[in-house]
Structure 1
Amino acid sequence: MTTTRDSLIDDLIDAGRQLVARGLVQASGGNLSARLPGGDRFLVTASGTWLDRLTPDDFCELTLDGEVAGGTRRPSVEWKLHQRTYAVRGDAGAVVHLHPQHVLLVDMLGSPIRFTTLDHQFYVGSAGRVPFHPAGSQEIADAAAEAARDHDAVVLAHHGCSTLGESVSMALRRAVNLEEAATMTYRLLLAGDTTSDFPPEWVGRIIEV
């Protein structure tokens, strides 16, 4: 019989394939996680895994205190980022951490990402930002979690981004829309446009898509 744990692993494996197919991940960059039922444990991809080649053996189980509770491999170096995000966002069921090109390009140009379409606004709407900290450090985990208190997407300077959602599917949708918004922002900047944006009177209003 398929368990909720099995279903979450299936969702994470599928998300990994989609992210690589969309070009949001290169080689073994990025990591994925999902909170287990009960709320005090989560699954995270193991260190060095390629997201389009994940198997059920490529996941570690950790507690919110950072203790390894299952799995035969070492967890991703970024496990603290996932742990801290779950600790401050009780509604988060999944976290996607990536190194997408356009998110980083726009940030290095010193421009905020513009969420110019209906989908961008509905699924993301805004993104927090934290300065560079070394990968896997407590500093990056704490900074990303603090930004996640107010945002479902966080840009990590010179590193990548993380998105969260109540499900793996929603965290994935937000990751895809964040990179698409960044791509559109970059193209607008190339065209010399620094002002076009979503109609301000509609920002923050609930819109079904």
Structure 2
Amino acid sequence: MRLQNEREQLVAYGKRLITSHLTTGSGGNLSILNREEGLVAITPSGMDYFTTQPEDIVVLDLDGNIVEGKRKPSSEWRFHLDLLQHRDNINAVVHTHQVYATTFACLNWEIPAVHYLVGFSGDKVPVAPYATYGTQELSDNILKTIGDYNVVLLANHGLIAVGHSMERAFAAAEEIELVAQLYYQTKCIGQPVILNNEQMGEVLMSFQGYGQGRRK
């Protein structure tokens, strides 16, 4: 079976989409690019994450052709493939319908630096203009918006997070949901204080060494 490791990751992280409250039902989708083989593992369309098995994961080439798998790939396969080829530091894509972030997507509002953890995206979370799900127009809107950001809101739809690994992309989706909830709550109470460019610049520099890399 091609891309066994990537398939197993998608099965595990698909369940986490539900248990982490980042989507409901069969909503959302996940993909991982194996750059050495030039192949993408992507979740199947409309399947329950808790019944999905590694053999249900679909393997595509970068032109969108099915290389292996009996299921239909996610209806959002276009933006997955386009994002994975857009920047060489993107190897995984997470698409969710998480409630707080999607609330701001439905308002067509960016999420500003109300908390330093917005740095998982960049200095903010931008919003891509609305287009019907599964269309090339939606993919084009995402590519025009994402720039160097790691998270993008999809107007009236949801959220996309990208990363060099599935672990990193998924973490970005989770952390931005926290930031979105904090932004929502501060807006309910009063006027949130937003971190300035200098403050966020320091955060982003610090994030470059974040994690369990070798100490220098």
- TM-score, normalised with respect to structure 2: 0.86
Residue in 1 aligned with 2:194? 197
Distance in 1 (CA, whole Å) between partners of 2:118 and 2:8 is 26
Pick one of 34, 37, 40 that aligns with 1:36.
34
Q: Which runs of 5+ in 1 are unaligned?
A: none
The Cα offsets for residues 99-130 of structure 1, whole Å up to 9 and x where unpaired, read as 11111212334532133334332x22232321
Residue in 1 aligned with 2:170? 172
Distance in 2 (CA, whole Å) between partners of 1:111 and 1:47 is 29
- TM-score, normalised with respect to structure 1: 0.89
Count residues with an aligned counterpart: 205
Describe how 1:16-31 pairs up with structure 2 within 5 A. 16-31=14-29
Using a 3 Å threshold, how does the CA distance of structure 1 residues 36 and 157 change in structure 2: closer, same or farther?
same
Residue in 1 aligned with 2:214? none
Residue in 2 aligned with 1:71? 69
Aligned-pair CA distance for 1:87: 1.8
The Cα offsets for residues 159-180 of structure 1, whole Å up to 9 and x where unpaired, read as 1111100000001001111211
**One-letter amino acid matched to 1:6:** Q
RMSD: 2.0
Residue in 1 aligned with 2:142? 144
Pick one of 157, 160, 163 that aligns with 1:159.
157
Match status 1:15 vs 2:13: yes
Distance in 1 (CA, whole Å) between partners of 2:28 and 2:48 is 8
Distance in 2 (CA, whole Å) between partners of 1:115 and 1:12 is 30
SS of match in other structure, 1:197: coil
Aligned-pair CA distance for 1:11: 2.1
Given that 1:116 and 1:181 are in contact with CA atoms closer than 8 Å, whether structure 2 keeps it comes out as yes
Distance in 1 (CA, whole Å) between partners of 2:96 and 2:16 is 12
Residue in 1 aligned with 2:92? 94
Q: Which runs of 5+ in 2 are unaligned?
A: 211-216
Aligned-pair CA distance for 1:201: 2.1
Aligned-pair CA distance for 1:39: 5.8
Larger mean Cα displacement after TM superposition, 11-20 or 130-139? 11-20
Distance in 2 (CA, whole Å) between partners of 1:68 and 1:106 is 35
Larger mean Cα displacement after TM superposition, 99-108 or 65-74? 99-108
Given that 2:2 and 2:59 are in contact with CA atoms closer than 8 Å, whether structure 1 keeps it comes out as no
The Cα offsets for residues 63-96 of structure 1, whole Å up to 9 and x where unpaired, read as 1111111111111100001011112112211000
Given that 2:110 and 2:126 are in contact with CA atoms closer than 8 Å, whether structure 1 keeps it comes out as no
Aligned-pair CA distance for 1:97: 0.6
